[in-house]
Amino acid sequence: MIGKETFHTFSFVFLAVFFVVSPFSISLSQISCGLSLFFLFLDHIKRKECPSLPLPLIFWAGLYFSFLLIPLLHLESFHWKQNIIKSEFGDSWMGLLLLHQNYLNNAEKKKLKSFVIIGGMFLILSGVVSLLTHYRLAPFVMDGFRYVEGKRLPHLLTELKGISFYLPIGFQSTHLTYGGLLAVYLPSVFVMTFRLVQKKRVIRKHSILLIGNLILSALGLVLLFLNQSRSIWIGFLLGMILLIHKRRTSFKRLFPWIIALTFLILSILILFYHTNWLFQRAIDDIFAKRSLENQRVWIHKMNFSILKEHFGLGIGAGNYETSFIDVAIPIVDSIPELYYDLMITPKSHAHFDFLHGILLGGVTAFCFSIAFLWSITRSLELVPRHFFFYIGIFVIIIAGSFQCYLLDDEVLLPFMGILALMPTQKMDLFLLSQNLKRYFMKEGIWLTLFRMVPFSFGIALLWISLSLTATYLWSRTENKELSLHRTRTQDNFPSPLTQMSINAKTPIPLPFPTKELYFKLSGCLDKEMNFKRNLKPRQKPIRLEILWDKDKQSYLPNSITIEIRKRESFDQDKEYRVHVESVVRKFTIPITGNDHRIEVDPREFENTLPEFVDFGFLYRWQGDAPLLPRIHMQGNCD
């Protein structure tokens, strides 16, 4: 016989299971989430009452329905699979987790927090295992604890004393997803550790428990740093500033923790920075205008081009990639050498949560996004004593200016789950109107509106506004500036000095005593192609010139060796492996005192897939004041 609280109990249990399994499997988390909602609805049916809708869910539903405005207005081109099932709208059901916000009582929410902590511990432990395992955990476990040939391998961070360390991703497929989960789960582990430290009785009687939690918290910080999700780093930084404001903690009390954290970060930086190209890139790209793997400028160029044309109602769910390609085609037609950069640029989302919503739903989505953000931060204002536990919500909002974390199912589900544990927020229009009327009469409209705006909402809105401004200015970069032919060292690191020699006006001075210098120069594609056109072999030869300044001839190299190289044309981040390169020809140029023209017919080394024709240069000097010769290249290598 089904008791009065049976369905409610089942819903609670599956929600607890959801928090524990989310770090391991998106399928298990979706199943447990779905079962929790299923029993929630059965409970309401049994009680013959409608679920109470919390404010965030109302605004969330409005945001996602705004994505369907364009598809529904153009029914002749409407496709269920593209616009509903496999589009952004397919994630709308996950917002139903917010129903638990008004469904659970405070005691149940408190119990569920312990399961969040357990999930956080499992997330940290899985990250440690992935840090030391040379197979990706998810496919390795799914394939029966064996490696299947051809499956993606993790990125190698470095090797220390014979021990290999890999990019920590736990059971996730990307480091960004794992970083998002760290943002959601880590605060709960930190809070528990902090509370244990505060209790003197626990320190005396349960020292092992305290030491274990301190170790887990320290490992969580290390994983957060090694994971290289820079957007999450920034989110936590602003979150800590907000936390200090909330608690009004004095700098004197925080100073020892700041010193300890700084020491930990510097230690990790020293250990890994000079031993791994991936880790070095994560740091260098923060300060670089452009880098070999950074296509973010292209993403935002397309974003604002799309926004300019579809600001009113947006482009609709499931149409982002198509719109991206439509904007890219004329660019490639006018500047063919940019095809590769655009081809490997991620086209599934705008890499900016707030902006992606506006692109899909236009002005309507903008209003609902602001309202959703306000309702979330309003919830944060209601938990000043427990703000640290929920700080991951704020971190994801800030980090969403760099990635679409709210489009990532693995991050979105636990994000909504944590949000569901916030205090109840019901939409009582009568009570709201009465309170507003009283405040307006007593304090005036501007002071009333100011009181309604949470401090965290102001910070988040200011950050999003600054991010939108920065990305817009970044998107104004001229297309021709992005067709830069890049130089690399033998180990494929950027080579700044040799980069300066490309189309320079004068030879580049080198530090004494440089006697030999080798670098690679990214060449041009051996095929002609566009996004909606079949590729065909390039007919024109690839040309470049080494310019010889006769007035400085005594300082120029006395020996030049040239390599003609072929390199695979795909994104090494997307494929999780580096480009395969090979030397197809090698020769020495006789020094004649005149300009040296190098000409290559790509059809001599043609492959079925598009590849790059690159160059390798080996210069040798005898003098004491070496100069690097100028290299002249045009567009798509002439």
Percent of the chain with pLDDT strictly greater than 70: 83
3-state secondary structure 126-153: HHHHHHHCCCCHHHHHHCCCCCCCCCCC
CB 189 within 8 A of CB 220: yes
pLDDT mean over 124-143: 90
170-174, 228-232, 606-610, 613-617: least confident range? 606-610
Q: Let me know if residue 569 belongs to a domain.
A: yes
CB 542 within 8 A of CB 524: yes
* DSSP secondary structure letter of residue 586: E
Q: Let me know if residue 30 belongs to a domain.
A: no
- pLDDT (tens digit per residue) in 387-396: 889 999 999 9
Give me the pLDDT at residue 211, please.
86
Q: Let me know if residue 411 belongs to a domain.
A: no
Give me the pLDDT at residue 49, please.
85
Give me the pLDDT at residue 291, please.
44
- Residue 588: domain span: 486-632
Give me the pLDDT at residue 126, please.
95
* DSSP secondary structure letter of residue 617: E
Give me the pLDDT at residue 199, please.
75
Q: Let me know if residue 561 belongs to a domain.
A: yes
How many structural domains comprise the chain? Answer: 1
- pLDDT (tens digit per residue) in 50-98: 888 888 999 999 999 999 999 888 887 778 778 888 888 888 999 999 9
Give me the pLDDT at residue 270, please.
60
Rounded Cα distance between 450 and 90, Å, is: 36
Q: Let me know if residue 145 belongs to a domain.
A: no
Long-range contacts of 332-335 (CB under 8 A, 24+ apart): 332/530, 332/531, 333/530, 334/479, 335/479, 335/480, 335/483, 335/635, 335/636
DSSP string, 352-405: -HHHHHHHHHHHHHHHHHHHHHHHHHHHHHT-GGGTTTTHHHHHHHHHTTTS-G
Rounded Cα distance between 313 and 361, Å, is: 5
637 compared with 98, residue with greater pLDDT: 98
β-bridge mates for residue 159, sequence order: 164
β-bridge mates for residue 562, sequence order: 587, 617
pTM over 0.75: yes
Give me the pLDDT at residue 618, please.
95
Q: Let me know if residue 529 belongs to a domain.
A: yes
Give me the pLDDT at residue 289, please.
42
Check whether 105 has a pLDDT greater than 50: yes
Give me the pLDDT at residue 287, please.
45
- pLDDT (tens digit per residue) in 513-566: 888 999 999 878 888 878 877 778 888 888 899 999 988 888 899 999 999 998
234-243, 244-253, 386-395, 553-562: least confident range? 244-253
Helix (H, G, I), strand (E, B), or coil: what is residue 264?
A: helix
pLDDT mean over 334-354: 82
Give me the pLDDT at residue 241, please.
81
227 compared with 579, residue with greater pLDDT: 227
255 compared with 403, residue with greater pLDDT: 403
Give me the pLDDT at residue 75, please.
81
449 compared with 49, residue with greater pLDDT: 49
Q: Let me know if residue 425 belongs to a domain.
A: no
* Residues 6+ away with beta carbon under 8 Å from 89: 64, 67, 68, 83, 317, 318
329 compared with 280, residue with greater pLDDT: 329
Give me the pLDDT at residue 153, please.
81
Q: How confident is the model at residue 621 (pLDDT cuts 50, 70, 90)?
A: very high
Check whether 216 has a pLDDT greater than 60: yes
328 compared with 251, residue with greater pLDDT: 328
Q: Let me know if residue 609 belongs to a domain.
A: yes
Rounded Cα distance between 577 and 458, Å, is: 42
Helix (H, G, I), strand (E, B), or coil: what is residue 544?
A: strand
CB 483 within 8 A of CB 337: yes
pLDDT mean over 223-247: 83
Give me the pLDDT at residue 290, please.
44
Give me the pLDDT at residue 293, please.
41
270 compared with 35, residue with greater pLDDT: 35
445 compared with 617, residue with greater pLDDT: 617
- pLDDT (tens digit per residue) in 479-506: 767 766 788 888 777 788 898 998 899 9
216-230, 288-302, 482-496: least confident range? 288-302
268 compared with 212, residue with greater pLDDT: 212
Give me the pLDDT at residue 363, please.
95
What average pLDDT is seen over the chain? 83
pLDDT mean over 401-408: 90
Rounded Cα distance between 460 and 447, Å, is: 20
- pLDDT (tens digit per residue) in 6-55: 899 999 999 999 999 999 999 999 999 999 999 999 999 988 888 888 88
